[in-house]
Amino acid sequence: MGRKPRILIAKPGLDGHDRGAKVIALALRDAGFDVIYTGLHQSIDDIVNAAVQEDVDVIGLSIYSGVHVPATKELMEKLKEAGLDDITVIVGGNIPPKDRKVLLDLGVAGVFPTGTRFEEIVEFIKNRVNGDGEGN
């Protein structure tokens, strides 16, 4: 009952822009979530392993280099293979509007481009993860 939502903030690939990842990690922590940050230069396998090890409810990918579609695609596939498709995946960073739908179609729960308000992300995660049922 009522464990804090556990969130993995992950930086897939070689992109070194981690201001957004660190900022959202701090914001989610202040909102009362358990937050784990992977650090830079993670392969998708690294991220899936970290998600298992840390037993997270949510994975947040932070991407500024333009690889959001292929990186997300691979993550969704590998989560499925590992039987982890109950994990909620959200994506943030430099995401052009036209790619929002592409990401949602891949099975991502939410897309939060640069500049999204913290409370929007916090509310989203609470609604998805919190104990009141099967998510929305």
Q: Interface residues with other proteins (CB under 8 A)? A: 13-19, 22-23, 25-27, 29, 37, 39-41, 43, 65-67, 70-71, 94, 96-98, 113-115, 117-119
Structural contact between residues 75 and 61, judged by C-beta atoms closer than 8 angstroms: yes
Pick 117 or 135: Cβ nearer other proteins: 117
User: C-beta of 78: minimal distance to other proteins in Å?
Assistant: 14
Q: Which of 131, 133, 132, 126 is nearest to 109 (CA)?
A: 126
User: C-beta of 99: minimal distance to other proteins in Å?
Assistant: 9
Structural contact between residues 61 and 71, judged by C-beta atoms closer than 8 angstroms: yes
Instruction: Looking at 31-117, list the stretches that DSSP marks H as alpha helix, in order from N- to C-terminal side.
Output: 44-54, 68-81, 98-105
User: C-beta of 95: minimal distance to other proteins in Å?
Assistant: 9
